[in-house]
Amino acid sequence: MKILHIADLHMDQAFEGLGKLPGEMRKKLALENQDVWMNLVDLAIGRKVDMVVIAGDTFHQPNVPVNTQHHFIKGLSKLENMTIPVVLTFGNHDYYISEKYWFEFPSNVYVMTSEEVDTVQFRLKTGEMVSVSGFSYESKWLQESKSKEFPVRCSDSDYHIGVYHGQLQTGKVEMDRYAPFNISELKQLGYDYWAMGHIHQPQILSEEPLMVYPGSPVGHTKKERSSKGAVLVDLGSKDVKIEWLPVATTSWQSCKISLNSVDTLSECLVETEEQFKKIDWEGKKLTLAMLEWYDIPEKLRYEISEELEQQEVLMYLQERLYHATTGKVWLASLNQEPLEKTEHLPLGLSDQLIQEEILAVDSTDGFYNAVSDLFRQPELRQLIEQDDNFKEAVYYETYQHLLNDLGGRGATIYEN
């Protein structure tokens, strides 16, 4: 049996952190999400899969635009015409609200709409019986583990698949908000495959049984540049086989340019443009480039640092390089190589001091004390009054930024 496993498609999410885009590129990116979905549908048909599993966060928000819904239903209808069953669950971003949907799902789609674990059973064209167990979110947070609600493997099925949109349990209440689980509990159920969702980076949690996060099929931010697409799972042989299938027509690419031969700031721009043209970009794909300058002469390092902070150099090069590559590449970011020695960090920061600052906010009380004046501002005070969870959400996001961006050790990767 072959399964196309999709998760975290985020069809209505915009690409982030790209600056002021040319009109033509805005149009290309606006169509990217729709193109990716139809590419996935065509792959399912072309590879003759027996079923499709969509493990949550198909959409970026619970209030899905009607045109996005329509486009998604069109793809499901194509699969219906090929008698390919689809199991669909909803995640923390697109948590299910029935009255928000304008269209009926086609007859081939088994939709799980409740936070209670449900099991659907159906027969494939091959005659094999399949059971699929899973759940959906009904709000943006689901703090209890769902592991113990899953039934043991159905004895009358040829295959039993688990669908789980959530994250590994950390033991910290403020972080375990997305159906936290531990792998051992899921393994005990005897399933043939676990289709995971929620983490945007592709990864394999377990080999036996196979538990896979396919990651987001398209990277909407630079943090998702490791996107591989969707996972094709073949359960038909003794050794389970998986294959990542790329579907995006837009990719993120890192590149470095040496400035060791320049003497002035203007020469930096000329050298960058000349070397940029020589880079082998990825064929027909639209590329979002993340450029780093290195081998910077010491006499220019301070000036370059000052200029990069103002973003003017980035905006200048964005336009120049976009035209130099005939609209194939957009410069998403420009940075200089980091200093190797932590004692040279700006403002006297050291690695030890950074760690101490992270630990200082490693609790909600410590964080609230540190930013108490900020929360007294009228705009934030109004948001706090409107949403009881606002302060806690700010703490959670800030703590993750400290871990990921300031060099915190032992950081856990969460969804974006």
pLDDT tens-digit map of 366-413 = 565 666 666 666 666 666 666 666 666 666 666 556 555 554 443 333
Alpha-helix residue ranges (DSSP H) falling in 343-389: 351-360, 364-370, 378-386
Got the DSSP string for 278-301?
Answer: HS---TTSEEEEEEEEES--HHHH
Which pLDDT score, from 0 to 100, does residue 408 have? 42
Structure tokens at 355: 């760690």
Q: Taking residues 238-251, what's their average pLDDT?
A: 89
- What would the pLDDT profile of 20-73 be if each residue is shown by its tens digit? 898 888 888 888 989 999 999 999 999 999 999 999 999 999 999 999 999 999
Q: What is the pLDDT of residue 373?
A: 60
Please report which confidence band the pLDDT of residue 174 belongs to, taking 50, 70 and 90 as the band edges: confident
Asked if residue 333 lies in contact with residue 314, where contact means CB atoms within 8 angstroms, the answer is yes
For residue 132, the model assigns a pLDDT of 98
CATH top class, domain 250-336? alpha beta
pLDDT of 228 reads: 87
Q: What percent of the chain has pLDDT over 90?
A: 62
pLDDT at 191 over 90: yes
Q: What is the DSSP letter of 20?
A: S
Please give the pLDDT value at position 341. Answer: 47
First to last CA, the chain: 32
Domain boundaries along the sequence of the chain: 2-245, 250-336, 349-405
Does residue 305 surpass a pLDDT of 60?
yes
With beta carbons less than 8 A apart as the criterion, state whether 287 and 249 touch.
no
CATH of domain 2-245: 3.60.21.10
Average pLDDT, the chain: 86
Task: Give the predicted TM-score (pTM) of the model.
Answer: 0.79
Per-residue pLDDT at 407: 46
